[in-house]
A and B are shown apart, each in its own frame.
Chain A
Amino acid sequence: MPLSSTTDTTPTDPQSQRGRTLIRIQNFNAWYGDFQALQDLTLDIPRHQVTAFIGPSGCGKSTLLKWINRMNDLTPGARAKGGISLLSDRPDEQTVDVDILDPNVDVVKLRRKIGIVFQKPNPFPKSIFDNVAFGPRLHLKTTKSELDELVEWALQKAAVWDEVKDRLQGPALGLSGGQQQRLCIARAIAMGPEVLLMDEPCSALDPASTLAIEDLMFELRSQYTIVVVTHNMQQASRCSDRTAFFFEGRLIESGETRKMFTNPDKNQTDDYVRGKFG
């Protein structure tokens, strides 16, 4: 059984966990067919922080994100070698909870733990309520009132409750782009994940909605571990704790966001964050 439930049963104080490694990526390589998208990548992603993946188009940052919850299973020809593991909350930061790349891993359970929000808001053509209730209905035994409570909680967490509370039965596609994206975040949160992966979550949104989502990411990190892929350097500097810079399939540098943007170790990182290329 590749998935144990230690993290589900042991209640932990999020603040004491903050900064400890949750996702460990070791010597990771990924291919699409014959094309090697990522080479020999090693990176730790800490709990309850926002980690930003930056780099020019085609640098492999989205590929890595999509391997973390195995979305790449759906892409024909996608292969990977190396290790990605979800660590348990023991203080040693060594005990592997889920070996994500294990072919026998239960991806349904994995994706319940690691939710994902996509580049373009993709609410289902159902009501607002049904969108948020979709995951819980699929995986949880709930009564009607428990479900109502859960939906309200998730919409509040995603900072969209006030805007939609009077039209929960209205169509989700009737919302604005920014509202749709926050609805998608609520939909992911309603599954009770530990990790939220966000693949350029603001690239289809206007500046005001972008700001709302960035604030939200900052809020949510107290409860979730967030990994965000972004093209927008200001966004990474504004809303992330740690930044990883990718270039041509390699991880060039990673570290505290402030350091990465002011005094990075590598010239290449400096050139990129200053906008000299990319």
Chain B
Amino acid sequence: MALPKALQEQDFKSTTTGMLSERLIVSCLALCALTTVLITVGIIYMLISQSVGFFSSDQITLREFVTGTEWTALQSKQLQQSKFGILPLLSGTLRVTTVAMLIALPLGLITAIYLSEFASPWIRSWLKPTLEIIAGVPTVVFGYFAILVISPSLQWFSGGGFATFNATSAGIAVGILCLPMVCSLSEDAMRAVPNSLREGAYGLGCTPYETAVKVVVPAAFSGIVSAFLLAFSRAIGETMIVALAAGTLPTFSADPTRQAQTMTGFIVEMIKSENEYGTVQHFSLYAVAVTLFAITFLMTLLGQMIRRRFQESYE
């Protein structure tokens, strides 16, 4: 039988144009990838150049900024009377974040274990969308939820031990916000654990619970830690909930029942305030923002280190 006509004619398309368009496409892809780098560099440049306006002032020393226990950038009109010590804002952020993590990490991890190892497909099919609904709720709604529901409940349970605006209410709301993230990332990590390990565990006489806790969770450890660190960064950076529910008084304390202004909360307050652009008070918000950025950056680095240290290679 003769070759088909198309093969007899040997009329091939030109390869040079193919090569050219190939190069063009790769360049376009690289350019798009570069955008994220440019944006990051731009943000870092903006933060640093603006915070220079703060740190170059005669009134400010870096030492006072790092170790000072009073922050009165908004409270006093005169620059001479203002105190710029970051610790009150840092302690506010830490109080809220700690409460948030106490809610999000255990609850998120336990839910993830249940979803990944135990839940029937039917239960998964409605539990996962429910979690995704939480993830989709605007944070401003959580802020009001904290003020209108969580705070009164805490006051009722404790017999008035909590202030109306307090770190715990805001922290619980932030924790609920972070819950779907912890849960879904941890669950992804656990579902990525090969089934051969589960079979191995069952083959050694593990119960399903023992399999989950002694084999699957340790095998997914690096992914779970990444989930925790991402949630931590998310909680530190959360703004709307704390601006609404945590209060506006920067205090250097560890008491979660009182008001706490967080770093993000302060930035919002400062932008809303009458302090004009160019004043040292205004520039202080960039100094706070740099601190915030540094913390989340360190978290990301830590996350990568842990991932590299604990990541197991399966074929």
Contact = CB atoms under 8 A, between A and B. Distances in A.
Interface of A: 69, 71, 74, 107-109, 111-112, 115-116, 118, 120, 122-126, 134-135, 138-139, 171, 173, 184, 187-188, 191
Interface stretch (B103-111, B182-190, B198-206, B279-287): B198-206
A173 B219 CA distance: 12
Contacts of A139: 205
A-B pairs, top 10 by smallest CB distance, nearest first, are A125-B312, A122-B196, A116-B203, A111-B205, A122-B200, A135-B204, A108-B205, A112-B205, A125-B219, A122-B197
B218 interface: yes
B215 interface: yes
5 contacts: A111-B204, A116-B203, A124-B201, A173-B313, A187-B204
Interface of B: 194, 196-207, 210, 214-215, 218-219, 312-315
Contacts of A188: 203-204
A125 B210 contact: no
A115 B204 contact: yes
Q: Which of B194, B198, B199, B201 has the most C-beta atoms of chain A within 10 angstroms of its own C-beta?
A: B199
A264 B288 CA distance: 85
Given A122-B196, A173-B312, A138 B204 contact: yes
> Which applies to chain B's interface (DSSP): helix, strand, loop or mixed?
helix
Nearest to A113: B205
A125 B313 CA distance: 9
Contacts of B196: 118, 120, 122
Nearest to A111: B205
Nearest to A173: B312
Given A122-B196, A125-B312, A173-B313, A115 B203 contact: yes
Contacts, number: 64
B276 to A, nearest CB: 58
Q: Which of B196, B202, B210, B314 has the most C-beta atoms of chain A within 10 angstroms of its own C-beta?
A: B202
Contacts of B314: 173
Given A109-B205, A125-B197, 6 more contacts: A74-B198, A108-B207, A115-B204, A124-B200, A139-B205, A187-B204
Contacts of A107: 205
A138 B204 CA distance: 9
Given A124-B197, A173-B312, A118 B219 contact: no
Nearest to B312: A125
Given A125-B219, A173-B312, A71 B199 contact: yes
A191 B196 CA distance: 19
A125 B210 CA distance: 16
A107 B206 CA distance: 9
A124 B193 CA distance: 10
B202 A74 contact: yes
Q: Which of A69, A123, A125, A138 has the most C-beta atoms of chain B within 10 angstroms of its own C-beta?
A: A125
A138 B206 contact: yes
Given A122-B197, A125-B219, A111 B202 contact: yes
A80 B8 CA distance: 60
A43 B73 CA distance: 86
B205 A138 contact: yes
Nearest to B313: A173
A122 B199 contact: yes
A184 B202 contact: no
